[in-house]
Structure 1
Amino acid sequence: MPLSHLHQYQQKLAQLGQRQLLLLAGEPAWQTAQIQQITQLCQGDWVTISFNQPHAILPEQAIRLLGREFLHAVFDANEGFNTDALAMLTGTLKAGSVLILCLPDIERWDSYTDNDSQRWNDAQGVLSTPNFMAWLKNITLGDDKAIVWQQSTPFQLPKLIEKAKPWALPQGKPTAEQQVILDNLLLSTSGIWSVIAPRGRGKSALAGMFIEQYQGNVLVCAPAKNSTDVLSSHTNKAISFYSPDNLLALCINNEIQSDWLIIDEAASLPIAQLEVLCGYFPNVLMTTTVQGYEGTGRGFMLKLGDNIPNLHTYQLQTPIRWAKDCPLENWLNQLLLLDELESDFERQKQGEVDIHQLQGNWHNNISQLHDFYQLLTSAHYRTTPLDLRRLLDGQKQRYWSASINKKIVGAVWCIEEGGLPFELAYDVWLGTRRPRGNLVAQSLVTYGLTPDAMCLNSLRISRIAVLPQYRRQKIAATLIANIVKESQKQAIDYLSVSFGYTEVLAQFWMQCGFQIVRLGVHKEASSGCYAAMAIYPLTEKGEQLLRSSLRAFALQYPQIEQQTKLCLADNLIPNHVATSQDRWLVMAGFAFAHRPALTVYESVANFLVGYEQHYPLLVAFFVDNKSLEQCVAEFSLSGKKVLTKQLREQCAQLMAEKDPQLTSRYQQWLATYSHPSCFDFV
């Protein structure tokens, strides 16, 4: 079939309100030649996402496309397959669009090396991803509506099925679904509202229509200003746009007021930030997708509903930007498991809870993959297509499920950590290396007293989720108990978990046998909470690690409390007393290596007793808690690097005044591994 037929085919797509996938599988030069012809035949925006194409958008920048509309696009996956970017791009395409997907020849997919795997694989380096590529192959070649064009085969177009009723794009007027929501919003005098829907259902358009009809003041907030393009196109009024951080600062300083605040793409902002913003305005409207590439909508609504009990939620079901049963949307939903939960999944089942460790060969058990992943998307806030990639091809992972009548109602996803060479762990302790992966183990070494956490074998609980209707029935605790039991039979020294700190979560993990050994001083972007880390020792070496980690935490806790203003419950506060040797060790690590300042606040204050007048800089920074900027200004330093250097040097001088022989021994011991720092004040 001549390629020229594509133009007429694309026009027919537009009349039917459909969008279509066109897979180009072959050499990059061949793909480029075909794309040149196609873009001349079918005029449009042809927005391109690629790792290396000139003038293309990088996959990690695809979030800038949210809230916008385009006709036609190219997704170049020859070197890496960023599924989040694919989902975002697909959601922006209007009816009549063709999405060109560029990949190597299908025969080579089994050995496809995915450069994007560095982003989601906890192991170092890139991976081949045979399981995802097999999944992609089955979905795409099994789709009789997809256009599949291989370099070695002639061009063919699938048959388009005519519809009895022609499709028409709404001409700026609200649909029946939108009108019901608009009427309620316009009557509101105070309240917090959310509108959730899959892509293309008119959430942003609804927000624009509301601005047009509302007679008072409305502010708009979104991750990026160009995210409001669709919203702006549905009102003739000027949009008062503010970035989230800027708006929050103005609110805190009482410099801004409005009748309404609209937050577009709300799930891409931290829950804590949304909660604070909602407190400053009498009426708030949040719009977000229910699909995972923006932060999982269903999990997002559950978590937001917990934080904002009076939240009113509406849903939009009917697509506006394209017709129902769009081939491209159906293909994407199948590929990334974005379709809705089955209706009976929402009803509580009765029966015994069965706990099983799953094998994880998901490509051979698609129904189990579907259930496990959909449970995560419905019950865990930050599940995205990246997690699907990790499930299919990630390394060093283990899974457990809780089922009732063979239906998964709870899930735990674990990642193996540790078992690394002492030399690498010691370099991490010194602050000279920061390898990928080993989230908890590496953090315990960075802020701990020994490199042991990275050398021992551990299992980190990465995700735990239970469907809402089954919570508070000890299903999560039963899952954890089973993991403990199974791990005790294997060569695992300790279990670990990292979570956004709340007292409820902290007490849950304590009740499961874990003890908090780390608390971060910077809020997580995803949860808006401070990161807490806890461990459960399983062997004597694990017990030793727990004891040393608690002593390190006890040294740091007063400063953590000072910086975060968090007051832990009595049973969570570390009560292990640090030894004199512990203090000397952390002082040496800061003075002669490159360990972070957080590790030495208490020790420096202890060493300074009687020497305060000789070390005004150390007093200002470590005792008076003056900021980096304040110290740089007060002591006329040229910048933060010079300040860091002087703090380390003065700590070394203070140690030498205390005990020159002991100081010399520590310095010699550490000098063997001295490298330039990558950890200062991280």
Structure 2
Amino acid sequence: MTPAAAEPMTPAALQDGSAAVAVACVRSWQQVLAARGHRGMVLVAGPQDWCRERAGDLLQALPAPADQWLWLGAGAPAGVPVLPASAAERVLGSEHVGVVFDGWQGLNPDAVGALSGTIRAGGLLLLLMPVLAVWGEFDDPFKRLLTVAGYAPGEIGNRWLGRLRRCLKDDGNVLWVEPAGITGGSLPAVAAKVPAGPVSNPDCLTEDQARAVHAVIRACQGQRRKPTVLVSDRGRGKSAALGIAAARLLQAGVRRIAVTGPRPQSVQTLLDHAQQLLPGSRRVGVGVLEFAESAIAYSPADQLSTTGFAPDMVLVDEAATIPVALLEGLLERGLRLAFATTVHGYEGSGRGFELRFGPALARNVRGIRHVNLRQPVRWAADDPLERFIDRALLLDACRQNPALPQLNVADLRVTCVDRATLVDDDDLLDALWGLLVSSHYRTRPRDLRVLLDAPNISIFVSQIGKHIAAAAVVAREGGFAPQMAAQISAGKRRPPGHLLPESIGHQLGMADAPQMSFGRIVRIAVQPGLRRRGIGRRLLDAVAAQQAAAGLDCLGTVFGASAALVHFWRAVQYGSVRLGVRRGSRSGAHALLMLRGLSPPGRELSKRCQRRFARELPDQLADPLRSVTPRVVLALLAGLPQPTLSDESRERVKAFASGQAEYEDAVAAIVALTPLVLSEAADRLSEVVRQALVLKVLQRRSWADCAAALSVSGRREVLTLLRTGFSQLD
């Protein structure tokens, strides 16, 4: 490498190894980056104490004050802000001149992604690690989070770290500082930053940002039910655009703007930009900006989607991190909305978000104002650090092969992918990871490390050559000795990495379950253009055959319940066995566990669990599961065995249906027969009648709540719907 310095260094000097030479080289290199509006990465590789000492030398020599850096881990010099790796998400929305990431204390991919996005133009990411030659033996503390009970530490792979090492070697713009000197990295000659063209909005830094601000303002002032959706990679100024638009709306007389995101701290950039444009405004607490008689205030998404609070405008930042069910609740309320989401980000996939949220948008809006922000704001285009992070964390993985929709389904073959082969095949890994990311909107970089290194993971793909049409990720669980199984069922032990046997043994009371062997379907994904062609079913059938041959007793899956997913899994021979009583923080839905028996004991266990679920679900719907949507309830009931009921109960219900008995007088028989009516007569009942039966009879909601949910005027109309339903009973 020949650094761009006032006095160029000779190759011999670069191999000097002295602290002064390394510091001078990095300082010169940082000047080149600053001149280009770029950011860079320095790998500081050596013994742990040496790495910390050298990083301290660099911070002292570089021009920015120490308090503008961030140090992740221990051993920071005085005056440098310190953050534990577990708290990396707290920095969302903040900016730093540089970050020191102590990989000796654990290389968390999510933290790498989060912190790299906070570095401004001219800044550096210093990664402290052992020398590359020993990475194969490096006992990364983060690997402890991949521990699965029953597997030895040595069975946790090192494939993700090996791939990172290869990415570092392949990227000539990462500077390597080792005890032997500057051993790697290069940079083109100094080139001035290309000036941006004129921008139509003086508040904005790019024309993309100006278009985004205009679209957000139109969403508030224009036709209702036409939300704005801002999409971009990180660093393009989405949050700033929301803040600028919010400020201009308050100045135009809008009184109440609600902002939401994954947490109050995540909207600070939005509030900062709004405050800059509102002289005399003041911050109140973490999430409120007051201006005259108006305010911009943070509200959790679950409150906005379910309460009667109706602000003039709602701004949703990092929408990919918020459960689709909550976002759909905002749409259904008819609020004026603007969403901003990241396409490739550690927070979640914007592409997966669009695929899953798109149908909800189509159902609830008249049109969409869509703005794609491409030009970076916080750094110049073609940024070396952004390129490296995108490749190392696979944020740039391809999403869909355009030739795939024309394939012949019969030509697809299902194989179990060898992970050692996968990690060395960039095209195959890109295709697989891109498919998983596009299908699951909350996929994060750490999930890639789990996929490659967790000891109990198997990957199945349906493919032609390297073209992947579908993929399934399976985790092996269970197989405990009787004594441990008894402790699990009693709730005394919770072995990591064994969700199915623990849930079935402890929560369902099936004491023999932890001794059985399970395969949990962690992910299933089919290319969007190939769905509804039986590809997912064929893949899951092939997985079932392979897992049965391997001696497993059951396959299972756990997911945020929706009617469509319940129908899909039941069609591939999975039965519902447990519905969580609380909504999941990631999905915003109740978690549903479904089982498919493979061996004779496994099939018997699955039937026992399903029978228990059928017995208990009606009572649960009347209390802990009252908030489950009627569509999900109807999907669950359609697959459950129904009890045999007496002629007396049937006659009582017929009396109610004909108007000869009041609801309160026949309620016991009505409750007993409703699951049967919804099962046997479902195809003869309208959607609103089916929902009325769920809301009033099974979930025991008040007449007023039922009327509001069904959009009818009151008790009399709800009674009419119920009587209509029972009139169809044979």
Indicate whether the TM-score tops 0.5: yes
Q: Which residue identity lines up with residue 303 of structure 1 in the other structure?
A: R
Matched position secondary structure for 1:113: coil
Partner of 2:56: 36
CA contact (8 A) 2:44 2:128 kept: yes
Contact 1:519/1:560 (<8 A) preserved:
no
- Per the TM alignment, residue 85 of structure 1 is displaced from its structure 2 partner at its CA by 0.8
Q: Are the counterparts in 2 of residues 195 and 287 from structure 1 also a CA contact under 8 Å?
A: yes
Retained in 2: the 8 A contact 1:448–1:548?
Answer: no
- SS of the counterpart of 1:294? coil
Write the mapping of 1:635-674 to structure 2, written as runs, cut at 5 A.
none
1:10: which partner in 2? Answer: 30
Deviation at 1:266, TM superposition (A): 1.8
Give 1:157 shift.
Answer: 6.4
For the pair 1:130 / 2:161, whether they are aligned, the reply is no
Separation in structure 1 between the aligned mates of residue 404 and residue 440 of structure 2, nearest angstrom: 18
How far off is 1:223 after superposition?
2.8
Residue pair 1:6, 1:41 contacting (<8 A) in 2 also: no
> Which residue matches 1:428?
488
Shifted more, 226-235 versus 392-401: the winner is: 226-235
Say if 2:200 is the partner of 1:142. Answer: no
Is 1:200 paired with 2:235?
Answer: yes
Alignment RMSD (CA, Å): 2.7
CA contact (8 A) 1:26 1:150 kept: yes
**Separation (CA, whole Å) in 2 of partners of 1:400 and 1:576:** 39
Instruction: Quote the offset at 1:97 in angstroms.
Output: 0.5
2:356 matches 1:303: yes
Between Structure 1 and Structure 2, how many residues are aligned?
577
Instruction: Work out the CA distance in 2 between the residues paired with 1:72 and 1:172.
Output: 26
Cα displacement (A) at 1:496: 0.8
Matches within 5 A, 1:217-228: 217=255, 218-228=257-267
Structure 2 residue corresponding to 1:315, chosen from 335, 348, 372: 372
Q: How many angstroms does 1:244 deviate by?
A: 4.1
Moved more, 51-60 or 277-286: 51-60
Q: 1:415 to 1:241 in 2, by over 3 A?
A: farther
What amino acid is the match of 1:84? D
C-alpha displacement at 1:406, in angstroms? 4.1
- Pick which of 257-266 and 85-94 moved more: 257-266
Counterpart amino acid of 2:175?
I
3-state SS of paired residue (1:67): coil
Equivalent pairs: percent with the same residue?
28
CA offset at residue 224 of structure 1? 3.3
SS at match of 1:321: coil
- The one-letter code matched in structure 2 to 1:47 is L
| Aligned twin of 1:328 | 385
- The 5-angstrom pairing of residues 285-304 of structure 1 reads 285-304=338-357
Q: Which residue of 2 aligns with 1:360?
A: 419
AA aligned to 1:19 is R
Q: Does 1:476 align with 2:543?
A: no
Give per-residue Cα distances to partners, 1:346-401, cap 9 Å, x unaligned: 87333335132222322233321221111111122221111110122111211111
Q: Is the 8 A contact 1:349 1:404 kept in 2?
A: no
Deviations 1:140-186 (A, max 9, x none): 12211111111243577633433366356998524222223333333
Which of 34, 42, 45 is the equivalent residue of 1:25?
Answer: 45
How far apart are 1:343 and its partner, in Å? 7.5
Given that 1:480 and 1:512 are in contact with CA atoms closer than 8 Å, whether structure 2 keeps it comes out as yes
Residue type of the alignment partner of 1:556: E
Q: Is the 8 A contact 2:147 2:496 kept in 1?
A: no
TM-score where L is the length of structure 1: 0.79
Which amino acid is 1:356 matched to?
V
Are 1:64 and 1:224, in contact at CA under 8 Å, matched by a contact in 2? no
The match for 2:430 among 370, 373, 395 is: 370
| SS of equivalent to 1:414 | strand
Deviates more, 1:98-107 or 1:83-92: 98-107
Question: CA-to-partner distance for each residue in 1:307-350, whole Å, 9 max, x for gaps?
Answer: 22235432211212111111111111111111152785487333
Preserved CA contact (<8 Å) 2:171 2:388: yes
CA distance in 2, matches of 1:265, 1:549: 39
Whether contact under 8 Å (1:271, 1:528) holds in the other structure is yes
User: 2:69 maps to which residue?
Assistant: 46
Q: In 1, are the aligned partners of 2:215 and 2:228 still within 8 Å (CA)?
A: no
Deviations 1:403-440 (A, max 9, x none): 25641121111111111112111111112111211112
- Which of the residues 398, 421, 433 maps onto 1:341? 398
1:180 aligns with 2:208: no
- The answer to whether the 8 Å contact 1:132/1:393 transfers is yes
The corresponding residue for 1:381 is 441
Q: 1:17 Cα shift?
A: 0.8
- Decide whether the 8 Å contact of 1:25 with 1:150 is kept in 2: yes
| SS of equivalent residue, structure 1 residue 320 | coil
Scaled by the length of structure 2, the TM-score of the pair is: 0.74
Distance of aligned partners of 1:80 and 1:167 in 2 relative to their CA distance in 1, 3 Å threshold: farther
CA distance, structure 1, for counterparts of residue 529 and residue 568 of structure 2: 18
Q: Contact 1:112 / 1:129 at 8 angstroms: preserved in 2? A: no
**Unpaired segments ≥5 residues, structure 1:** 578-623, 626-682
What letter matches 2:638 in structure 1?
Answer: N
Q: Tell me the distance in 1 between the aligned counterparts of 2:215 and 2:553.
A: 57
Give the corresponding residue for 1:350. Answer: 407
